[in-house]
Amino acid sequence: MGRVFEIPIKGEGDAASRVGMFNQQIRDDIASVVAAVGIDGPAPAAIDEPSTVNNSTTLPAGRNYGCHLKVADTNVRALSAGCFMTRMAIIEEDAVFDGIHFTSSDDNIEELVKVRSPAVAVFRNCTFEKGPTATRIYIRVEAGAKTLFVGCVFKGNPSDAGDIINNPNPAADCQIVGCYNKTTHAFGTVTTTASI
């Protein structure tokens, strides 16, 4: 049997008024739960940074926009599987991404992620996927920036040759831990640990 959240309003007077108040309370309770999770609505969702530090965003399943993060310690996470980011993510300050599926699209055939100095970007359980007509670079790490990938998957085979990660920094500044490379391309100038 399905769950009924609201009672149909029948009649007039006090009974209808009480039912209306009950229904409004149900709507408010549901809105509170959605707000507590941090979701603004269905995909595509925009990522906002209203605070000067420590912003958090939970993205819904579906095709979401890219982002341009300029505030330190922003956290972006997927609510569930199937949370795609189809435009470039530009990271200028420290940030953490959890469970996001970065993918090339008609809106973005360039790199999926660009990390600028002095940012340190952490990616946990993310997937990075490029189509055959996209450029080869998945992640561009600019001089002075650092990255850490934990439990991530890299897949797809862009037609032009080259490395997945463009990192001009020392290999120690780009750590790949417990990740899976399903492409035909090498990671690049990185340090890998327990990755295949």
Q: What's the angle, vertex CA 158, arms to CA 163 and CA 99, rounded to 5?
A: 80
Global pTM reads: 0.80
pLDDT in tens, 131-186: 888 888 999 999 999 999 999 999 998 877 789 999 999 999 999 999 999 998 99
**Which alpha helices (DSSP H) does the chain contain, by range?**
14-37
Question: Where exactly are the structural domains of the chain?
Answer: 1-37, 56-193
- Phi, psi (rounded to 5 degrees) for 29: -65, -45
Helix (H, G, I), strand (E, B), or coil: what is residue 147?
A: strand
Strand arrangement of the beta sheet that strand 113-115 belongs to: 67-69, 89-91, 113-115, 139-141, 165-166
Tens-digit pLDDT profile for residues 81-111? 999 999 999 999 999 999 999 999 988 889 9
Residue 69: what are its φ and ψ, rounded to 5°? -90, 125
| 3 DSSP assignment | P
Please enumerate in sequence order all residues whose Cβ is within 8 A of that of 12, keeping only pairs 6 or more positions apart, or say none.
none
As a whole number of angstroms, the distance between CA 105 and CA 87 comes to 7
